[in-house]
Structure 1
C-alpha cells in the first residue's frame, strides 16, 4: 500500500514543475541578471541610450569581465559592421590585468576582424598602450563609438583617451560586435540576439 505524499512534498514538486514550465525566466532574479544601471559616462555621451545586451567573458573558466552594450533607441543589431551607429561598450573587470597586455590582445583580435597595415598596427598599439590602464576587480573601462569619427575611452567614469580614426573604431568594436568575433556567444548576448 502506497502512502500519499505529505502535503509539503507535493507542494515542493508542484513548485519545481512550475519553475521548469516557466523556464526560470519569469521570476525576478532567477533567469537573467538584473539590468545594470547606466554608467554616467554613457548617460553623458548617449543620454537616450538603452541596454541592448550584456554578457560575461570567461577564459578557461576564469571570469574576466562582464560586458554591456548601450545604444540609442534606433540601434539595429543587424546593420552590418560596427561603426555606423553611436554606442557604448562597458567592460566591468572581475580580475587584475595589465593594460599593455589588454592593448596587445586587442590588436590580435582586431586582426581577426579585418585587415590593416603594419603602420596602422603600430600606431593603434601605441595609442591603446597609453589609453588602457592596468585594471583590477571592479574597474570599469568604457569605449564610446562615434560613427565617422573614431572612439573615446573612459576609465571608472573619467575621460582617458580618444582617437579620431573610423577604421580603428570599426575594427576595435568589431572585436565584440562583428560577425567575425572570436566570441560569438558573447556577441549574440551583447546584440540582444538570444532573447
Structure 2
C-alpha cells in the first residue's frame, strides 16, 4: 500500500511539474519563432531568450511573445532596477507613469530561480501580460509600457546588440 501511495505521489508531482512548465510553452504555441539568443555577462550565462510573433517577423506583428528562460537566480528587485537602467540607456524618459509601472512590477514579478521562465506576451491594442510557469502574473500593462519594455531587447540601440540581432533574426556581421 505504501509503495502504491508513493508511486501515486511521484506521478502527481511529475504531472504538476510538466503542467507548470507548459504554461510558458502554451503562451506562444500558436506563434512563429523569429529568433533566439543566450545572454552571457563575462563568464556567466544569464538567460536564454526567444522571440515569437504571429507573422514570424519582428517588423510587422500584432502579437509578440518574448520568452526568457533564466539560467541563474535573480531577484525581482534587481530585474526592476535593470529595467529602469535600460530605459535610461535607450533615452526613454522615465516619467511618473513609468514609475507607476515599475511599482506595479514590484507587485507582479516573483524572484527568479534558475530554471524559471518569464514570458512577456503583447497583443497590440490589448496590452502586455506577463506569464510564468504558473500562469498569468498580475494585470495587463498598456501598449505604451509594452513598447518601452520590449525595446530593452529589441531596439537597435539595445545594450546587447548581438543578442538583439539574433532575437529579431538578423545576422551579426
Give your verdict on TM over 0.5. yes
Taking the aligned partners of 1:70 and 1:179, their CA distance within structure 2 comes to: 18
TM-score (norm. length: structure 1): 0.70
Which among 151, 158, 170 is matched to residue 193 of structure 1? 170
Q: Write 1 or 2 for the structure with the bigger share of helix.
A: 2
Taking the aligned partners of 2:76 and 2:150, their CA distance within structure 1 comes to: 17
Supply the RMSD in Å over aligned alpha carbons: 2.1
- For residue 175 of structure 1, what is the aligned residue in structure 2? 152
- For residue 31 of structure 1, what is the aligned residue in structure 2? none
Q: For the structure 1 residues 42 and 93, does the alpha-carbon distance in structure 2 shift closer, same or farther, using more than 3 Å as the test? A: closer
- For residue 133 of structure 2, what is the aligned residue in structure 1? 156
SS for the counterpart of 1:105 is helix
| Structure possessing the higher radius of gyration over alpha carbons | 1
Which among 88, 91, 109 is matched to residue 132 of structure 1? 109
Contact kept in structure 1, 2:24 and 2:135, CA below 8 Å: no
1:45-96 deviation per Cα after TM superposition (whole angstroms, max 9, x unaligned): 5553121111001112210100011111x243345xxxx5311111100111
- For residue 10 of structure 2, what is the aligned residue in structure 1? none
Q: Write 1 or 2 for the structure with the bigger share of strand.
A: 2
TM-score (norm. length: structure 2): 0.78
Taking the aligned partners of 1:89 and 1:186, their CA distance within structure 2 comes to: 13
- For residue 120 of structure 1, what is the aligned residue in structure 2? 97
- For residue 58 of structure 1, what is the aligned residue in structure 2? 40
2:159 counterpart of 1:146: no
| Aligned positions of 1:12-161 closer than 5 A | 40-41=22-23, 44-72=26-54, 74-79=55-60, 85-161=62-138
Taking the aligned partners of 1:44 and 1:138, their CA distance within structure 2 comes to: 17
Cα offset, 1:43, TM superposition? 5.9
Contact kept in structure 2, 1:154 and 1:160, CA below 8 Å: yes
Taking the aligned partners of 2:27 and 2:114, their CA distance within structure 1 comes to: 25
Contact kept in structure 1, 2:33 and 2:53, CA below 8 Å: yes
Q: For the structure 1 residues 150 and 184, does the alpha-carbon distance in structure 2 shift closer, same or farther, using more than 3 Å as the test? A: same
Q: For the structure 1 residues 165 and 114, does the alpha-carbon distance in structure 2 shift closer, same or farther, using more than 3 Å as the test? A: farther
Cα offset, 1:44, TM superposition? 4.7
Moved more, 45-54 or 138-147: 45-54
